[in-house]
Amino acid sequence: MSDLLAHGPVVLDGAMGTELDVRGIDTHGALWSALALTAAPETVRAVHADYLEAGARVITTNTYQATLPALLRAGHDASGARGVIAAGARLADEAVRRFELEHPGAQVLVAGGLGPYGAYLADGSEYTGAYDVESLDVPAFRDVHLPRIEALVGEGIDLFALETLPRLDEAQALIAMVTGLAPEAECWISFQVRPDGAHLADGTPLAEAIGWAEGEEAVVAVGINCVAPDVVGRALPVLRAATTKPLVAYPNSGDLYDPQTKTWRAGGGGGELAALAPSWVASGVRLVGGCCRTRPAQIRELAAVVGA
């Protein structure tokens, strides 16, 4: 990742679940986009490929929601569940290899997507941090995260995207798990923050969380994701003041998510990524992309304006 960042801003991909919905794949169950790893693997690969063609140079495995307990609950046995998670890495790798054959000299990376415990709960708590456990030092928490990391490391993944994290203690626990299994791994951490851009979803000051990340060798970039685009601008001064590391920002479209109905409605915090991104890059953002409700067209526009 450091080599890629040395050449300037790096464009990330956009939403997987949104694109699967558009292509007719059901994502409304508890597994969300992870269902497509077995139901429509060729579509997952095609989505990765479209983001690469749009200009993304880091694609994230479709494993945000792929956890061992959720897959067991969906009817897989333990071996099969780990195989589903591994398939997320293989599909991304296949898309990259095909792209590199068609574009000699292109430098592309795959990041292992690690969603928060709240994503497994599928109750919207990744946007609040209000989990159903008193402490994260419980088997239920480890069982969500550790097998997924093991499966991705087993497939050769050495770059991880720790995404939409609403709590600092979860970020700390995930970094410990990743580096315990892969000491040389690199990670970016992107937090879920409140609309004020100054606090994590659970109320922890963003500056405190970023200050912790500043001292973590495995963390190569830190920032926020799945917030409305206008929140990025409010958070950037806090981020830049708290760290010298490259910043990461990949907001959603600005629409609002209802975790009960699992539907989106138009929100008021939008703004075109391509219009806003140059100011983010000027403030230190080096990994920039899109999250929920963004598509290859937005990533193509983004790549054009940031010169990646």
CA distance 204 to 182: 28
Q: What domains are defined for the chain?
A: 2-306 (3.20.20.330)
User: Would you place residue 268 in the very low, low, confident or very high pLDDT band (cuts 50, 70, 90)?
Assistant: low
* pLDDT higher than 90, residue 294: yes
How many other β-carbons are positioned within 10 Å of the β-carbon of residue 265? 9
If you average pLDDT over residues 220-242, what whole number do you get?
96
At 159, the amino acid letter reads L
More confident residue, 191 or 265: 191
How many other β-carbons are positioned within 10 Å of the β-carbon of residue 6? 9
pLDDT in tens, 11-37: 999 999 999 999 999 888 778 899 999
pLDDT of residue 129: 95
The pTM of this model reads: 0.95
pLDDT of residue 259: 60
Q: Average pLDDT over the chain, rounded to whole?
A: 93
* pLDDT higher than 90, residue 202: yes
CA distance 227 to 270: 10
If you average pLDDT over residues 144-159, what whole number do you get?
98
More confident residue, 8 or 174: 174
